[in-house]
Amino acid sequence: MPTSIHTPNPDRLAREKGRNFTEVPVIDLAPAIGPDATSISRQAVADEIGLACEKIGFFYVANHGINSQQISAAWAEAKRFFALPLERKNEIHISKLPNHRGYLGIGEETLDAYAADSKEVFKIGLELPPDDPDFINGIIMYGPNTWPRDLPGFRETIYRYYQEMTALSKELFRLFALAIGIDELFFDDKIDKPMAQLNLIRYPAHEGEPRVGIGAHSDYECLTLLAQDNNGGLEARNAAGDWIAVPPIEGTFVVNIGDMMARWTNDRFASTVHRVYNRSSNERYSMPFFCGCNYHTLVSCLPHCSSADNPPHYPDTIAGEHLVGRLDATNAHRQKTSGAGV
């Protein structure tokens, strides 16, 4: 889940200086999560991930353990949903629901100050019962999902995919910990009720000049796992200001670091600016999974990420309060209900 960076913080841009990448690496996860993984091979993969996080903020993961048939099934269900008439999708519009789930139409989310995004979205999160204490207390990142009616198999397939993404994210958190040099299990109790969302996204077909589907932004959670179709369009910005293509590679997910992990690591891990720039005229689909920590987690500079010459860049923050603040700023329906401005 993203936050607009149209007016970047100059201190942050200074810290990004030197991340002048021209390509995004592919990292094989098999030695870390496969049946033959050892502590030595896990550390080697973690070091490779850590280097990518520090130098780029983006990498691909291969041999991630998610069955290709399951991914294909999720793609098919996403297309079934977006093929529904608009009135059916609007039955579960996000503005009608008590938490941050459901449907958003084209132009209803704005990640760049100049123009609304050209996409429609269906959002789900961690499935929790209506009597969940956090949901009852009004925390919009928790509670039950709301599903489209009369779409057999959709709920089961999409939530199964969500669960697989959650499990893979937890593996990546452990590898992040090894890369940083802290206890491998450090994040475990901070992501056992994660503010994690899966977005199904459709970018409409268009004619003429290339179109910005999502404006320049950085994601505000800890990490993003992205499945993208063959149309491409994802681009990451390096320190020189160049947009570097992050094209689809069969059998991989794209991983990128979000603002919350950048805060935790004192910008040791880069939350890199990126966008979707649809250079084809085709309809485009993507499935980003945004994984954050538990709402009440105190995010404070981690060990090995600061020094006397490099003090913490950010004050301590409660993860959920930061996240909801960003939602208020980038979603039109939140500005109506919360009174927040852009």
Q: What percent of the chain has pLDDT over 90?
A: 77
304: helix, strand or coil = coil
- Please give the average per-residue pLDDT across 74-85, as a whole number: 98
The secondary structure of 204-245 as a DSSP string is ----SS-EEEEEEEEE-SSEEEEEE-TT--EEEE-TTSPEEE
Task: Please indicate whether residue 7 or residue 32 has the higher confidence score (pLDDT).
Answer: 32
**Residues 177-225: tens digit of each pLDDT:** 999 999 999 999 999 999 999 999 999 887 767 777 888 889 989 999 9
User: Could you tell me where the beta strands, DSSP code E, fall in 269-336?
Assistant: 274-278, 284-294, 298-299, 317-318
Write down the pLDDT at residue 107: 79
Write down the pLDDT at residue 115: 57
- Please give the average per-residue pLDDT across 88-102, as a whole number: 96
What the block records as the tokens of 70 is 């399951």
**Residues 141-189: tens digit of each pLDDT:** 999 999 999 999 999 999 999 999 999 999 999 999 999 999 999 999 9
Write down the pLDDT at residue 324: 86
Write down the pLDDT at residue 217: 87
Task: Please indicate whether residue 46 or residue 107 has the higher confidence score (pLDDT).
Answer: 46
Q: Above 50 in pLDDT, residue 338? A: no
The secondary structure of 41-55 as a DSSP string is HHHHHHHHHHHHHHH
Query: What is d(CA 274, CA 57) in angstroms, rounded to the nearest whole number?
Result: 10
Confidence tier at 278 by pLDDT (50, 70, 90): confident
Write down the pLDDT at residue 213: 81
Q: Above 80 in pLDDT, residue 331? A: no
Q: Above 60 in pLDDT, residue 16? A: no
Q: Above 70 in pLDDT, residue 11? A: no
Helix pair 154-180, 68-82: axis angle to 10 deg: 130
